């Protein structure tokens, strides 16, 4: 939430800042602003409510002086509405200092009262402006922006990434972070700061991950890092493994359309190097290899779509490795006093690796003796650095706010974990493992086939553009898929949508069915050994009898659903645990197409931000 970019180098800050903000806009799009210090040491700023383009238009009409030092911000509003005045940067010291903030300063009220008593005048309703005036106050004492920042963070409670510039110290940007992301881009005669590497990847792929409670000072030729006590600190350098083109639309109508099209590739890349000759090799787990042998319980913690991926993993891990798996929303987990010990493996799942609820749950789990394995899609992110081990999904950058390709990559990573645990625990034979590996390897072309064959989804979505409510039913692995289908429709098309376990229907939700109610049903394979297929076909008949319009997603050749469904979308055959994953792309496409038919922005849905870095 909130995108942050900082730059020192040549005289083209405005271009770098706007480019960085364009790539970070998925983090928030309520307002945007920049501040630049020119070659003469004068600070100018501009900020506007609305999407980044509003600021870009404003700057085109009324340019500010460009210069070698600057900071930029794109906001997801927390304290104070999305207005020009509440947009960042916030100015202090008579307009000589500018500051931007991502996070929430929980003790802003007493600090503001203290500053007001000192005669400081506030111009916004934000918590962030407090930090600007505090850094200004400390700068007046120290004449050193790094030290002023250090003294300021000692006063703050909550989560923050702060960047500040001061006209009296041109050529310097100072950043600080606690529980909010910040990475450095290492250039040649220029350096960058960003909420994530997307901010600067078109200039450099060399990056430094700034650790928790650290302060970084960038100049054109140097980067120095200290901790909040002022001691020199290490920051780990890494190479960004994707280039700027991966985060471009590349001819697609939206990032969402592009990212759905990349679902097969996301799965393939997540499997790459981890499956060989019918076996699993997860070098990622080496840091916890010893303790993994002892695991007697798995708890998956995640939020939103990532939590639904966790549910997929529950079915696979329990069936294959015979170890109990609980799946819990990260924000509920740490407040219920969970029972944890050294034999508990906590698996956190996060595309961004920055979700505050998940990060806090990870810290809690480790503090209480559990080992934490993270499944993450973002290099240099906080959650993997706070974990004992990490399996990176290689879905590539996900720019659209709603998660799509990462969901499948997360599911596949959990399936790999399940097979790895089954190997360790001897719960599957090598032939059984090889059979599942073959199924996973066959998934990308089948996903591609599903996407290629999904023209009917577009027609259906256009036909349903006025629909007010859609229900999604699934059983077993189809249940988390139903939840994901419903979430995607809510967030993209702003339509009431609910996902249910099909067996739960008769326990209450069937009361929602009235003539014309649209219901998607993910139909289990007729080959499923649990005989769920006839039960779900019965569920379809029950809702049809009450007037529902049923869209079944069923495997090729399943004729039993035909008499009872209004539409049937076909998916290729796969094993019962894996086949429901093939229903994901049609549901993602349906939500996207329906939102498009309603004229909505599928990449930046209202009220949302991709990376939720506040609790
Ligand atoms: O970055 P994360 O995977 O931790 O994000 C978790 C959720 O915030 C995220 O999946 C969210 O539910 C998306 N809006 C789903 O499309």
- CB of residue 259 inside a 6 A radius of ligand 1: no
CB 546 within 8 A of CB 510: yes
Instruction: For the chain, state the CA radius of gyration.
Output: 25
Q: Cα dist. 230→221, 237, 471 in Å?
A: 21, 21, 55
Separation between Cα atoms, residue 471 and residue 487, nearest integer Å? 11
- CB of residue 355 inside a 6 A radius of ligand 1: yes
pLDDT value at position 120?
Answer: 96
Strand segments, DSSP code E, in 353-490 are 371-376, 389-392, 469-474
Residue 614 has pLDDT above 80, yes or no: no
Tell me, in angstroms, the distance from the centre of ligand 1 to residue 611's CA: 7
For 413, residues 6+ apart whose C-beta sits below 8 A from its C-beta are: 270, 375, 391, 393
HEC secondary structure over 461-484: HHHCCCCCEEEEEECCCHHHHHHH
pLDDT in tens, 380-422: 888 999 999 999 999 999 999 999 999 999 999 999 999 999 9
How is the chain split into domains, by residue range?
3-246, 249-441, 444-608
Which residues does the annotation mark as catalytic? 2, 610
pLDDT in tens, 570-581: 999 999 999 999
Tell me, in angstroms, the distance from the centre of ligand 1 to residue 195's CA: 17
Tell me, in angstroms, the distance from the centre of ligand 1 to residue 355's CA: 8
Separation between Cα atoms, residue 111 and residue 133, nearest integer Å? 10
Mean pLDDT of all residues in 123-141: 97
pLDDT band, very low/low/confident/very high, at 492 (cuts 50, 70, 90): very high
**CATH architecture for residues 444-608:** 3-Layer(aba) Sandwich (3.40)
pLDDT in tens, 418-463: 999 999 999 999 999 999 999 999 999 999 999 998 888 988 998 8
Question: What CATH number is given for 249-441 in this structure?
Answer: 3.40.50.10490
Q: Which three-class secondary structure state does DSSP give residue 116?
A: helix
Is CATH 1.10.260.40 what the domain over 3-246 is classified as, yes or no? Answer: no
Residue closest by Cα to atom 7 of ligand 1: 304
Q: How many CA atoms lie within 13 A of 547 on its CB side?
A: 7
pLDDT value at position 508?
Answer: 92
CB 334 within 8 A of CB 431: no
Strand segments, DSSP code E, in 351-495 are 371-376, 389-392, 469-474
CA angle 553-555-556, nearest 5°? 120
User: Identical fold at 3-246 and 249-441?
Assistant: no
pLDDT band, very low/low/confident/very high, at 609 (cuts 50, 70, 90): confident
- CB of residue 323 inside a 6 A radius of ligand 1: no
- CB of residue 358 inside a 6 A radius of ligand 1: yes
Tell me, in angstroms, the distance from the centre of ligand 1 to residue 401's CA: 8
Separation between Cα atoms, residue 291 and residue 373, nearest integer Å? 11
Average pLDDT across the chain, whole number: 94
Burial class (CB within 10 angstroms; exposed 0-12, middle 13-18, buried 19+) of 468: exposed
pLDDT value at position 386?
Answer: 93
Omega of the bond leading into 89 within 30 degrees of 0 (cis): yes
pLDDT in tens, 539-564: 999 999 999 999 999 999 999 999 99
pTM, 2 dp? 0.85
């Amino acid at each position: 939430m909130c995108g942050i970019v900082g730059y020192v180098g040549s005289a083209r800050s405005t271009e770098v800042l706007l480019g960085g903000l364009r790539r970070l806009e998925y983090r928030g799009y309520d307002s945007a602003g920049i501040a630049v210090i020119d070659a003469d040491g004068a600070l100018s700023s501009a900020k506007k409510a609305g999407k980044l383009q509003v600021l870009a238009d404003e700057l085109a009409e009324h340019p500010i002086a460009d210069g070698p030092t600057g900071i930029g911000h794109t906001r997801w509003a927390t304290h104070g509405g999305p207005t020009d005045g509440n947009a960042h940067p916030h100015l202090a010291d008579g307009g000589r200092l500018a500051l931007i903030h991502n996070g929430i300063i929980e003790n802003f009220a007493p600090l503001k009262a203290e500053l007001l008593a000192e005669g400081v005048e506030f111009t916004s309703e934000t918590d962030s402006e407090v930090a600007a005036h505090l850094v200004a106050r400390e700068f007046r004492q120290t004449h050193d922006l790094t030290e002023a920042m250090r003294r300021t963070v000692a006063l703050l409670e909550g989560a923050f990434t702060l960047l500040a510039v001061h006209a009296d110290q041109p050529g310097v940007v100072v950043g600080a972070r606690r529980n909010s992301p910040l990475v450095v881009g290492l250039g040649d005669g220029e350096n960058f700061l960003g909420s994530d590497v997307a901010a600067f990847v078109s200039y450099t792929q060399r990056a430094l991950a700034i650790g928790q409670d650290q302060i970084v000072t960038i100049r054109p030729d140097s980067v120095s890092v200290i901790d909040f006590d002022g001691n020199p600190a290490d920051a780990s350098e890494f190479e960004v493994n994707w280039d700027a083109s991966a985060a471009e639309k590349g001819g697609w109508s939206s990032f969402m359309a592009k990212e759905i099209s990349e679902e097969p590739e996301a799965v393939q890349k997540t499997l790459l190097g981890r499956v060989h000759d019918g076996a699993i090799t997860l070098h990622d787990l080496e840091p916890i290899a010893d303790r993994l042998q002892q695991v007697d319980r798995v708890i998956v913690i995640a939020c939103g779509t990532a939590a639904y991926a966790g549910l997929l993993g529950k079915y696979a891990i329990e069936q294959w490795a015979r170890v109990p798996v609980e799946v819990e929303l990260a924000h509920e987990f740490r407040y219920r006093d969970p029972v944890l010990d050294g034999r508990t493996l906590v698996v956190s799942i996060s595309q961004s690796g920055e979700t505050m609820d998940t990060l806090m749950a990870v810290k809690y789990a480790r503090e209480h003796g559990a080992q934490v394995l993270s499944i993450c899609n973002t290099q240099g992110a906080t959650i993997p650095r706070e974990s004992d081990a990490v399996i990176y999904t290689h879905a590539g950058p996900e720019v659209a706010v709603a998660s799509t390709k990462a969901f499948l990559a997360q599911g596949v990573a959990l399936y790999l974990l399940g097979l790895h645990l089954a190997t360790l625990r001897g719960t599957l034979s090598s032939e059984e493992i090889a059979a599942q590996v073959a199924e996973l390897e066959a998934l990308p072309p089948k996903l591609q086939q599903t996407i290629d064959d999904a023209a009917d989804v577009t027609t259906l979505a256009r036909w349903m553009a006025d629909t007010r409510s859609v229900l999604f039913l699934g059983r077993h692995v189809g249940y988390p898929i139903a939840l994901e289908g419903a979430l995607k429709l809510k967030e993209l098309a702003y339509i009431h949508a609910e996902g249910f376990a099909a067996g739960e229907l008769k326990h209450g939700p069937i009361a929602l069915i009235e003539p014309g109610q649209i219901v998607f049903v993910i139909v289990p394979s007729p080959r499923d050994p649990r005989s769920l297929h006839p039960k779900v076909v019965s569920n379809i008949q029950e809702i049809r009898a009450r007037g529902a319009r049923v869209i079944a997603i069923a495997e090729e050749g399943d004729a039993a659903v035909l008499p009872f469904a209004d539409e049937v979308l076909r998916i290729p055959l796969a094993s019962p645990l894996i086949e429901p994953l093939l229903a994901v792309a049609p549901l993602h496409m349906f939500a996207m197409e329906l939102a498009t038919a309603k004229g909505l922005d599928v990449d930046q849905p209202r009220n949302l931000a991709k990376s939720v870095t506040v609790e």
